[in-house]
A and B are shown apart, each in its own frame.
Chain A
């Protein structure tokens, strides 16, 4: 605390001796007249002291916290929408005026508050009438920046119905002022996120990383909030990313997924917006791309049960560089190993990705659906090697006896030599050495399937003496079935050839020949199908082109369409001689994946897929109130809902900055000071008179 002398200090200094002399003489006088007590002297001394202080004009300086207030503009939105009543008795406009009155009353009519809207002159409140009005600029979307610049406002408080305010930039207002808002009316901010595009390479290679790019749009998502985006390979999740919202609405946000396919085949890659409870618009939340995953190796699947044939052949296949080898090991209770691959056995289309299928002594453990699918796989152009045994495909029912002939499993403890036929000696499959020594060295076979009634097959090796009908029993034969081929070993225990030092190399050469002649051979499929586009909007025509590579044959070409649970033939046409190319146009009516398969003379093409999606018109900007709210927040302000006047007042109080400042206190400007002087002089007079003095 400091004391500053601001009045006529020199006069007070001059008056001080006079005052002291006056008091000295007064004291002597009271003593001379024998006045009892000193009260008159005391009162007069107090009066003289106050008078001297009055003359000096002193000021006491205090240090206190002083609020630092910028200029606050209060704006009332007077757009037409403020005339809405929202089911209440009063219009938004009237409710806003009432809130402004409450706000001004509580806050006080300080000189830092300006009223921008002339509409507020209609208010009867005195505090408002005393405030400065700066103009009638009340259409806030156009004028916020201008208003802020006019008086250099630090804060702008807008009373508005935000959801009816148009033209707000999501980037915020272009002003340094903090913009706050009290909003009226019901907010309409439906959250809506969607995927507008997904791009993936048309071809991928197994175990090689690819980038799947997705374009995301969203609206009604507050800045900083997260949007989960997932990538699915068919139905299995293959990736997850999070997108941070940079505003209430955005289009063209890019997300890249790293995707490494593990298996060959056409993959449906779906990018989905993760389900959010806030999202009301769930349509168009996913988009699809297709990738045909291939392998730089030829794929082979071997189905067998535990046994030495499996042990040695499996080891051989594993070590072949150019073979992508997989196996399913079966037992009486189901798959012992390779369970994940078993589901594909019952589907000839799934099997078609294998260039070579080897089925050993395990067919008994397969279902009839699975063994039937294996036969269909061959008919469609697959290569199958059958290894005989008591549980081999020779024992299978269905159409298998027709394909392989009827057979009985037989044993011979002494064994017998596998004898090559003339065709066998010339066959590239069995020609394992120059002079045929290998076949003489191979260990004897001790069990085999004795086949009768086999037709249409070419016997490459036979039993040395046993007759099956007119000729010797076939032990190794090939047979064409449909567009595919079967190589059949009607006996088991080839492992003896591999385990013997003398013939191990012969075994390896024979199997290399088989792999080269089957898995290595490229075949043109009987029927192929292509679509002009892979991704189309709903209702847009897609050209479906079909190539029939066996045009000399007559028949009916059918085009099958599969969409969800719906499956139907959408086109049938008669094949014309020597015409190989056919076309169909189709417009997908609903969203989703459509699979097209062309069928002709028992052969079926690989499926061609398209994905039909909603148009991008589903995207809408975020609700206006959210756009307004976002602009307010980006300007460092706060949004209050109607009825939160108290919260607004509290907010402004709590967010007012204070600085330490000296505040003057001038007692002599107060009436109390003069009254005190008069009081002391009056008391002195009363005491003196009661003491008998004049």
Chain B
């Protein structure tokens, strides 16, 4: 009976609370979907420029240089006027998304291992026009040389000559990549692997350009060193975008 009374159509406090909750929920859903629609329709978020970080196998700390690409994307947006993303993108070699990023970035200290399937897919990525920038945080060299032998059989990393476009535009580096961090001592190096005559992999060794792009408080690098790192990174991206 009490149920019937309740069902009689009187607006009790309980019913009012339920209705109010329902209305608020509807409003929330509508607003959320509107917000999502706005987000979807934002050109910036829809088709932005990203340099994805490669999540590779083998146990190495692939996640290093966490802020580097976001900061580089912002710098590129400023210099070239491109619409660049404001978040970090991570991609694995076997991900479908790999071919959404014509330029990817790789960093870390430890081991790197490519499975045979990954080596084939990477090769396909490079054949299609993809570009990989590796910034050695120290200790990757041996693993890199071993694993890229699987991707480019018979081809070794070769030093990029100092008069190459990658050191000339838009910033001028007369003696190869700038020095950011001391690793093994000696000169920094810029190595490359080629697909036909096109550079597919650029590998900075014994300098750590990637670390130079990180937020100032992470490594405490002086401003001029960080600026040089940014300039070199802009050159690498510019080369990848124009070669």
Contacts and interface: CB of A to CB of B under 8 A. Distances in A.
Interface in B33-62: 39-47, 49
A469 interface: no
B49 A307 contact: yes
Given A390-B83, A500-B99, A314 B242 contact: yes
Nearest to A365: B81
A310 B241 contact: yes
Most buried by B among A306, A314, A365: A306
Nearest to B128: A499
B129 A315 contact: yes
Nearest to A500: B99
Contacts of A678: none
A311 B129 CA distance: 9
Most buried by A among B82, B124, B130, B238: B82
A441 to B, nearest CB: 13
Contact of B43 (A308, A364, A390, A501): A390
Interface string A491-522: 01101101111001000000000000000000
B7 interface: no
A491 to B, nearest CB: 9
A337 interface: yes
Contact of A501 (B45, B124, B242): B124
B242 A495 contact: no
Contacts of A446: 46-47
B85 to A, nearest CB: 12
A339 to B, nearest CB: 12
Given A311-B243, A492-B47, A412 B40 contact: yes
Contacts of A496: 100
Most buried by A among B124, B129, B238, B243: B129
B242 A413 contact: no
Given A314-B242, A329-B242, A305 B80 contact: yes
A447 B42 CA distance: 9
Contact of A410 (B43, B79, B243): B43
A315 B129 CA distance: 9
A409 interface: yes
Nearest to B103: A308
A329 B46 CA distance: 24
Given A306-B238, A336-B170, A447 B128 contact: no
A498 B128 CA distance: 8
A235 to B, nearest CB: 28
Contacts of B241: 306-308, 310-311
A332 B82 CA distance: 10
Contacts of B42: 411, 413
Interface string B79-106: 1111100000000000000011010000
Given A310-B242, A331-B79, A336-B80, A409 B102 contact: no
Given A306-B82, A390-B83, A499-B130, A311 B41 contact: no
B128 A411 contact: no
A391 interface: yes
A673 B39 CA distance: 139
Contacts of A390: 43, 83
Nearest to A410: B41
A143 B9 CA distance: 147
Contacts of A501: 99, 124, 128
B169 interface: yes
A493 B47 contact: yes
Contacts of B166: none
B102 A308 contact: yes
A365 B45 CA distance: 22
B222 to A, nearest CB: 26
B169 A337 contact: yes
Contacts of A310: 241-242
A305 B243 contact: no
B103 to A, nearest CB: 8
A305 B82 contact: yes
A477 B129 CA distance: 29
A103 interface: no
Interface in B225-243: 238, 240-243
Given A315-B129, A412-B40, A414-B40, A499 B102 contact: yes
Given A410-B41, A411-B41, A499-B130, A331 B80 contact: yes
B198 to A, nearest CB: 8
B41 A306 contact: no
A58 to B, nearest CB: 93
Interface in B91-146: 99-100, 102, 124, 128-130
Interface in B159-213: 169-170
A499 B129 CA distance: 7
Given A310-B241, A499-B129, A447 B80 contact: no
A311 B128 CA distance: 12
A365 B44 CA distance: 19
B126 to A, nearest CB: 12
A640 interface: no
B44 A411 contact: yes
B13 to A, nearest CB: 43
Contacts of B102: 308, 311-312, 495, 499
A311 B242 contact: yes
Contacts of A498: 129
Nearest 8 A/B pairs, CB to CB: A411-B46, A411-B43, A447-B47, A413-B40, A446-B47, A306-B241, A306-B80, A446-B46
21 contacts: A306-B76, A306-B238, A307-B49, A307-B80, A311-B242, A329-B242, A331-B79, A336-B80, A336-B170, A336-B238, A365-B81, A411-B40, A411-B42, A411-B45, A412-B40, A412-B46, A413-B39, A498-B129, A499-B99, A500-B99, A501-B99
Given A315-B129, A332-B81, A500-B128, 10 more contacts: A308-B102, A308-B241, A310-B242, A329-B242, A331-B80, A409-B43, A410-B43, A411-B42, A447-B43, A447-B47
